[in-house]
Amino acid sequence: MYKPRYLKLLEKGELSVRIRDLMNLLAECRLCGRKCGVNRLAGERGYCGAGKLPEIASSCVHRGEEPVLTGSFGVGNIFLGRCNMKCVFCQNHSISQPDGSAAKDWDSSSAEISEILLRFQRQECPTAGFVSPTHYSPQIFEALSLAASKGFSLPIIYNTNGYDSEELLSLLDGMVDIYLPDFKYWNSEYANIYSGAQDYPQVARNAIREMHRQVGTLRTDSSGTALRGLIIRLLVLPGGIAGTADVLRFIARELGNDVFVSLMSQYYPAHNASGFPPLSRKLRPEEYSEVVDLLEELGFENGWVQDPLTSPESYRPGIDFRL
């Protein structure tokens, strides 16, 4: 019987210490690669626009994740509002880059989030996940601590864009069961132009190394549902902008080709992408196929690929969101 690592920290009395240290990061915010340095505890807001209170854009049982995460029922997902990046093609831009009216009902609390987690467990979700958690990590892990003290015991998924500071991740060691990061760009110029994060490639490399060190290769239970480990999501972008081939070589070289990779072909022009060629067009099947060929050439056997002809329609977000 798998026992989430945060329960072990709770039993040792260490979980409360971690939460205190996480909260301290808000006083001079350095949760992500930007390290804005604003005092979130005093209500100041940095680049992402997040303040002291956690903001929940949606919470639902989500069936659109990788099968190893959903089991037969679905992941209990909590979607956090706002983001520390400004991707011009963001498919969830109404959540990540909201206008004032969209965010007016999002304010929540750690106590409310803990009750959502407990509800997911009562609904028999096999896992629970935080989506875009970086900028609210202290508050959501405070919620996890509250839920764990009331009997919550599901594996926790940390679903991030990969722009997490090493200082934050070091405090999350032992609190996260499954890391689910994106690796969006290999090239810093593209990261700056299309997401406003020039240092993203280096931050993401360091973050994913640390995530892998903490949780290792993905482990599942007897039914094939994830318990602990790393899954890296790679969205192939038109014109090779993501540098997916270089990212795959990095993963194979530094982490090993037994890492689980979710290679996504679901790109379509969303948000402001129409003004940024070649992101203004859909991904071509041959662009995706070239990356699949390299995936096989490098010896990756764990993970998932998609059908580039149908995935842009099949994986469009929105149907599960309560906005």
Give tens-digit pLDDT for 290-304. Answer: 999 999 999 999 999
- Report the chain's mean pLDDT, rounded to a whole number: 94
CA–CA dist 133, 81 (Å, integer): 9
Q: How many CB atoms lie within 10 A of CB 29?
A: 25
How confident is the model over 164-176, as pLDDT tens digits?
999 999 999 999 9
- What is the count of structural domains for the chain? 1
**Which range of residues forms the domain containing residue 113?**
5-314
| Residue 245: its H or E element | helix 244-254
Number of residues written out for the chain: 323
Nearest alpha-carbon partner for 210 in 248, 169, 179: 169
* Structure confidence at residue 319 as a pLDDT band (50, 70, 90): very low
- Residue 109: CB partners within 8 Å, gap ≥ 6? 53, 54, 139
How confident is the model over 6-15, as pLDDT tens digits?
999 999 999 9
How many Cα neighbours within 13 Å face the side chain of 256? 11
**264, 96, 126, 15 alpha-carbon torsion, rounded to 10°:** 120
Determine the average pLDDT of the residues in 152-168. Answer: 98
Assess if residue 320 is contained within a domain.
no
| Residue 233: its H or E element | strand 226-235
Assess if residue 104 is contained within a domain.
yes
* Structure confidence at residue 96 as a pLDDT band (50, 70, 90): very high
Question: Model's pTM, two decimal places?
Answer: 0.95
CA–CA dist 114, 117 (Å, integer): 5
The pLDDT assigned to 312 comes to: 66
* Structure confidence at residue 313 as a pLDDT band (50, 70, 90): low
Beta strand 303-304 with 156-160: parallel, antiparallel or unpaired?
unpaired
How confident is the model over 210-228, as pLDDT tens digits?
999 999 999 999 999 999 9
Assess if residue 322 is contained within a domain.
no
Assess if residue 15 is contained within a domain.
yes
Assess if residue 165 is contained within a domain.
yes
Assess if residue 321 is contained within a domain.
no
How confident is the model over 266-277, as pLDDT tens digits?
999 999 999 999
Q: How far is CA 183 from CA 6, 7, 195, 201, 250, in A?
A: 26, 29, 13, 8, 11
CATH of the domain at 219: 3.20.20.70
Question: The tokens 């196929």 sit on which residue?
Answer: 289
* Structure confidence at residue 64 as a pLDDT band (50, 70, 90): confident
Assess if residue 110 is contained within a domain.
yes
The alpha carbon of residue 105 and the mean position of all alpha carbons in its chain are separated, in whole angstroms, by 23
Nearest alpha-carbon partner for 244 in 231, 258, 262: 262
* Structure confidence at residue 100 as a pLDDT band (50, 70, 90): confident
**Rounded CA Rg of the chain:** 19
| Residue 292: its H or E element | helix 285-297
Assess if residue 319 is contained within a domain.
no
